[in-house]
Structure 1
């Protein structure tokens, strides 16, 4: 019986039903007609009418059916369906008393995105482009290094405010070699110019700073405790994949403590202790937040396995917290 069922019911006594009395009467008649002399059963069936067989069968069927109906009404073989979960939580109480897990409503996820999205920014990396040119008509002038006069867009990524006074976290590779950084913030018509406070190539982390044109505080995200996040928990990624601003993807935390190696312009770059998720992460998501169901940052989206589907990686919030002190105090570049 279900523990939530407080109502007690007396079991139905079968011998008190009129159906049983009728059944016994018909069976007595059947036995008296199918036996002769000294109680020896008659091997022939000619002495018993078809109607007697039929009556016995019908009475038996009515008895079993009546007991089954009473058992259903009395809830003899299962939990009380009235004991279902009415608390509005994330579980469903079944008739057998088993509690089944269920997903939270889509509204919860939408609320996380609505609350977190204003703190997520788009970062554009502008750099002066250089190129080589040979001497006129292929003469002995040799090659010459030339550069554009104005910085040109070299790449873009994502970042997020972790402080209301304008401090932004992102990946180091998003801002590497930049001559100018432009940050697009929701609510402002023009991008804001950012300066690099500190950066670490090894950790692939960077802190930027922008000033508020109107003196208003910026929305900020809280750095959560990744140790409280378990494999299988829902996580939400927000970023600007391929320039598509404020794209949200949803998945689960697939694994912790991953090690990967990525080849970049400086050679193989080894990452350790990464989070793995199947939330879609693409080019442009780098530097964006990976959020738990409470809207807290548990990781920073960093890399994706291009040869697979649903294998993305993020720097855990524990590493970010540990590095923040150095990034804030040791200058633009930290090894």
Structure 2
């Protein structure tokens, strides 16, 4: 029997950036940070002042000459910020595990609170302090500080919205003044071979600038909970600490958010297209999240080998491998081993096709499934739920 499997890359952020499955998410561990006092957090949320209503203040469309990148950075650089996070977790030390090895499983390992400090990058998209970055930069942080270029003061940031699936987060700071912003460009218009400029804080080196080209578009990549289909690939150097920073064109417009690199190669970095970000930006600011449709099953293709093993006559479909507890699928009565052959009278040819249909549905939509169970065809009605990442 040849059962198709899905390979998932899991990223750990216990102590900054970790190598997993050949990819780095660029969060840089920064244990050298000094303690800073916590400023009052701003709870003001004003979506009208976000990027869509912001006045363009970065434009070099008519700039020519050999200093075009330097000139662009003079305007774009002040809107790029360093993000410092602090997280406290309970865990065991290697010494405690050592003692358990010698004294047996009955040895009680004390749980100790451990503080980890990491850094990433972000950029300001509204004059009143909204900031875009990666979800994995701030995920689980108890304290978030934002440091602007040339400023001695660090601002305490509040998480306004997060989306693990697109690896996005929106922060808000209250600076008490108008802030410089970056204009969001159009990533759909970017061509392979065009120049790209990354700004970030790799390994704590503030406002490091790297230059390259867009080497590919629409790259698929799975990292942890994030499922990407259309990442921009660039050879502009991206390292731990760059995550959440902008990928710019020569006009100083953001065309992507730097999010990962391939650690097994050189000059292979990935950025979330800014058009993908803009599709969910309002939801992140106004609702704090993006409502994702969810059925609550894992699936695999019904291959000829699997059909023979299961002794079924159908040749195409999606075999349910697991049903999440409390999910819409469980409430509808779906079970492990069911073979979904139709959805709304449309033939299911693969698990990927069915997953795409569910992914394009809206929360609350009802669908009719035709499934094979114990040699009998059954029609089941399911209502699409909302994905809860805390329970996944």
Q: TM-score, normalised by structure 2?
A: 0.54
**Is 1:297 equivalent to 2:251 in the alignment?**
no
Of residues 156, 163, 167, the one that matches 1:204 is 167
Deviations 1:121-162 (A, max 9, x none): 0111101142227699969661232214xx541x21100001
2:133 alignment counterpart: 170
2:148 alignment counterpart: 185
Mapping 1:318-333, distance limit 5 Å:
318-331=275-288
CA distance in 2, matches of 1:157, 1:106: 30
CA distance in 2, matches of 1:254, 1:144: 50
**Is 1:117 equivalent to 2:77 in the alignment?**
yes
2:109 alignment counterpart: 143
- SS of 1:106's partner is coil
CA distance in 1, matches of 2:259, 2:206: 17
Where is the helix percentage greater, Structure 1 or Structure 2? 1
2:199 alignment counterpart: 238
Mapping 1:242-321, distance limit 5 Å:
242-262=203-223, 264=224, 269-321=226-278
CA distance in 2, matches of 1:306, 1:105: 35
Q: Is the Cα contact below 8 Å between 2:126 and 2:181 reproduced in 1? A: yes
Q: CA deviation at 1:261?
A: 2.4
CA distance in 2, matches of 1:300, 1:252: 15
Mapping 1:11-50, distance limit 5 Å:
none
Flag the 1:152–1:321 CA change in 2: closer, same or farther, 3 A: same
**Is 1:127 equivalent to 2:90 in the alignment?**
no
CA distance in 1, matches of 2:127, 2:66: 28
- SS of 1:307's partner is coil
Q: CA deviation at 1:164?
A: 0.8
- SS of 2:169's partner is strand
- SS of 2:239's partner is coil
Deviations 1:1-43 (A, max 9, x none): xxxxxxxxxxxxxxxxxxxxxxxxxxxxxxxxxxxxxxxxxxx
Of residues 121, 131, 136, the one that matches 1:158 is 121
Structure 2 unmatched runs, 5+ = 1-60, 292-388
Q: CA deviation at 1:331?
A: 2.6
Deviations 1:238-264 (A, max 9, x none): 0011111001111111111110123x4
Structure 1 unmatched runs, 5+ = 1-88, 91-103
Between structure 1 and structure 2, the one with the greater Rg is 1
- Tell me how many residue pairs correspond in the alignment: 226
CA distance in 1, matches of 2:222, 2:162: 20
CA distance in 2, matches of 1:164, 1:225: 21
Deviations 1:210-253 (A, max 9, x none): 111xx221110000111222111111110011111001111111
Runs of 4+ in structure 1 deviating by more than 6 angstroms, as ranges, are none
